[in-house]
Structure 1
């Protein structure tokens, strides 16, 4: 007996067909997504390449998945930018810190160069007329920086102890080259590498620290006092001055026999400067002659006596201003003219002694703050990597850092244009309207890192990283800036 068709059966069959179709669509979508998401990627870590299969969507996820440890200053880039696509090549270059010398300024510099010559080439490639740049090797026996190959392309000129020689094999680290030449380094000696007209120079500088003293003259001063015993306009040398002497002690840094720098560390007073004291007679005024006739109840003799011995007289007030204590003659207003005159002389004679003792008290502190100021200045300059750089120093540093990323030629020109427009390459450029700060005009400036307000290296490193992540290259950042007037 055949089954009868009913509406209920129709509904059930339709639901089954819909469910089967949905399942097929989902399965096909998942399959296509899986096929599309699966990528074959090449990872190059410090020149070593391997091919991997991954479903990661970003470079950071891929490196984490493959257990590639990336440090803060390491350079990471890919052929497709920030997103990961099939057949990408992801490059990781480990960075290490060395010290470069830009225009006489020592700057810690993170680099991915495989040789010192390559590092110098980074700077010369973008800066044809740059400040003189050398690479300092702080410890030639250090496994990281001391093991850096000097020059892969050829011989190296070695200069040490006033002699020059050629090391034919440049594919050796500094320690090996110096050992082959029989050059023994002292604990304070400096080793640096520089390029001079295509010649790679490995230079050894002998450094020692000495202490020297020298005697300096402290000039004496000349003071004038009023002596009522002298006639008006008359002068008399009461005390002949004499220069003083200080002994100054310096800590010196001696490089290859020449003093490179000196710092004042101590000042001692050997003798105090004694002032020259010149006594002058009081000036005559019209009020003096009229004052004797209009005096109330005082005789001319007592007026004269008070003018020379009274504490309110010009002589006594002058004595008060030049001495720390009132003279004994001022305390006896009943003295005669002759007594007053002799007392005035003794007061004038006693005055230089009090003055000399005052000079002694003030002479010592005068020199001490000088040493303190020198010390504080030295400490502040070493608190950053590229502290308050000039425009030339900032561009020299950026030239090497940009060249490490492959930004030379048009890319470097675009970077110079961009930061000229933004800040004029000034480390303290502060945008009053937006509060953006520094060479790359970061907003806020604090996100650039420690010492962001003064350290040009911190600002430049952050700016290059920002351009790499946001635009991929300086030319792209410049195009955005031209179109929108910001980047």
Structure 2
């Protein structure tokens, strides 16, 4: 029969409870000190990297710029800081990189210039110096080896690609290459020649700045191009504006369309082109123009002629009709409003017979050049169709 020692069990429980109590007390003490430490260490942790040096700062600054000022960091206007100086500090931790401007000698063919720049790569240095680099150009950055000429610092050496004229399957453009020959250039640009493709000059020809390279495919083929679509123009005639006045009230915008042509090429020359498909990708926007339509009030034959031409054009006739109208009424009346034929009774610029016929166009038909010309143009249109039709009849019959 087993006997349980309650006394020993009791003390074990007492000892175990004591250890638990002590553990909880220690945990509360450590936790309290941690909170207190966090409260005492308020602010944001900023690590600054500057020319290989590292500086750590606990700050309550509002921006990156304020933090750098607090750390005693001086900046040149050409230095670059990432993140930006005006970035507000809202996170608990930041890493700030300072890129110091330093001298760089740029050697671009015969051109040599020195710049101060914080950038590290060839592309960024060239952009900072406002130098255009093309994808085919080679540009390398290295430590300067000519201390006597360039001094300490870096060198950016630009090896320009050769620019030349390239027509590739109907599309002409200025191309650039580092290749030595036409064949190497085509390989560089991943142009694969087919059985019916032709190249001029030969693939072995050396690439030079003045060379013109053409690649085409003999026979029929299709090409797709993007073309502009002209915008329509709506004209508003303003009778209160003088002739010659023009105002664009709403500018038009050209549209775009993708067009597919079937072309025929022989010996590198396009001999035929037929449109086989078209898709408008951007609709044109109509242009609205206001033009002056106020006709002058003439006082002599010369001014009558100016008015007559303007009214003739407004009536829908082309410029080619003006010599006929001018000669016709010059022979009839000399373009005089008060020209009268004492024998027949014909009167005015168009020599209306009788004069009262012109009353249908205005009560002032005896003195108004505008009224007389209006009637005369109406008469010519109804009887001969055009001023030249009337003039030809006059030449044959000496009347119209």
Fold shared by both chains (TM-score > 0.5): no
| More RCO (CA 8 Å, sep 6+) | 1
Structure with greater strand share of residues: 2
Larger Rg: 2
Query: Which has the larger share of helix?
Result: 1
TM-score by length of 1: 0.24
